[in-house]
Structure 1
Amino acid sequence: MLTLMKLRGHKMGIVSSKWRFHVISELQSKKLDMFFDVVVAQEDTSRHKPYPDPLLLAARKLQGNPADCVYIGDQPSDVQSARAAGMINIAALWGDGKFERIQTASPNIMVQNPVEVLNFVSQLKR
């Protein structure tokens, strides 16, 4: 999914509640760091998810309009943060994403796997 998103010209960022050192280390250890143009970590904002601040900062760094951004997360706070930022939100039901927990946040769409993310994003007008 990440390779295709990058090849299609999508700018991508990571917004995490973890400290930057941990985020960067994890991305590098999994050889995923090359896919992301921006990393917003815990130390970058004073308010964290579910507030919109970290997502809005990522959008600014990517030089994007929040309304044109899609945020993918696996927690209710991810959905709440994206909604507050005016972004489309996708609930990822793999990894830590659990249907029962995240459905209460009313995401725009819930997906079972990364292929569904590709399908959804490809349907959006750019």
Structure 2
Amino acid sequence: MQMKALLFDFDGTLLDTNELIIQTFMHVLEERFPGQYSPKDCIKFIGPSLKETFEQITPNEVDEMIEKYRQWNHEHHDELITEFDGVLPTLEKLKEQGVRMAIVSTKRRDTIKKGLELMGATSFFEFLIGIDDVNHVKPHPEPVLLAIEKLGVAKEDVMMIGDNYHDIEAGKNAGVKTAGVAWSIKGEEFLKQYQPNYILQHMTDLLQIVKES
């Protein structure tokens, strides 16, 4: 009996947007706080929602900073993203095997769609859940529970996959299996602290995990 459904985070899991995110943060923060942030400092902002991040950095200018971030990010999106190795062929095989798939992200749906279209991966996913679909973002279980409800499958047949602790915690909080990806910019050891059921060394690992689960 194989696993029936896989929920994927998007940024840093299926699409390598790390360079795009870091450069976007550097652009908006350098303008506001010249010389105070380095690209390395920006790694910790990968994962949380923009609201969460800017509430910590500029609590009185959250909306303004998010708008600046989104504008620069949108303008430079296509030139700064790359695909992770093996993602598309693996998604294709999973789809052929009848595994159901959806995206659960803290990004806006229009931005996720843009990335999926560029990758040529739109057809693999039944639906997307973005920040505009929920009241609480990961690590809260709401986005994962919403995805399970839409799929109409049992929790034990579902796995949440991501590159950050938000993904693993959200999966655990929702009562599903979890997998971290070793290509996370935060590193495999960082993810292991959160005790996911699996760590994927390569996207193709999923093919075996799905069969055995």
Normalised TM-score (structure 1): 0.93
* Structure 1 residue aligned with 2:142: 53
State the one-letter code of the partner of 2:166. Answer: S
Q: Does 1:99 align with 2:188?
A: yes
SS state at 1:49 partner: coil
* Structure 2 residue aligned with 1:43: 132
Decide whether the 8 Å contact of 1:42 with 1:48 is kept in 2.
yes
Alpha-carbon distance in 1 for matches of 2:141, 2:157: 15
1:87-118 Cα distance to aligned partner (Å, 9 max, x none): 11011112535112211111111111011111
Which segments of 5 or more consecutive residues in structure 2 lack a partner in the other structure? 1-89
Decide whether the 8 Å contact of 2:179 with 2:199 is kept in 1.
yes
SS state at 1:12 partner: strand
**Structure with the larger RCO, 1 or 2 (CA within 8 Å, 6+ apart):** 2
> Aligned pairs, how many?
124
* Structure 2 residue aligned with 1:121: 210
* Structure 1 residue aligned with 2:197: 108
CA, structure 1 residues 95+30, in 2 after alignment: closer, same or farther (shift >3 Å)? farther
Alpha-carbon distance in 2 for matches of 1:116, 1:88: 15
* Structure 2 residue aligned with 1:63: 152
Q: Which runs of 4+ in 1 moved over 2 A?
A: none
Alpha-carbon distance in 1 for matches of 2:108, 2:160: 19
Decide whether the 8 Å contact of 1:14 with 1:36 is kept in 2.
yes
1:55-86 Cα distance to aligned partner (Å, 9 max, x none): 11111111112221011111011110000111
Percent identical: 29
Alpha-carbon distance in 2 for matches of 1:54, 1:3: 24
Decide whether the 8 Å contact of 2:164 with 2:184 is kept in 1.
no
Q: Which of these residues, 92, 99, 113, is aligned with residue 24 of structure 1?
A: 113
Alpha-carbon distance in 2 for matches of 1:17, 1:3: 24
Q: Which of these residues, 95, 101, 112, is aligned with residue 6 of structure 1?
A: 95
Decide whether the 8 Å contact of 1:91 with 1:97 is kept in 2.
no
Structure ranking higher in helix proportion: 2
Bigger Cα Rg: 2
Alpha-carbon distance in 1 for matches of 2:112, 2:155: 23
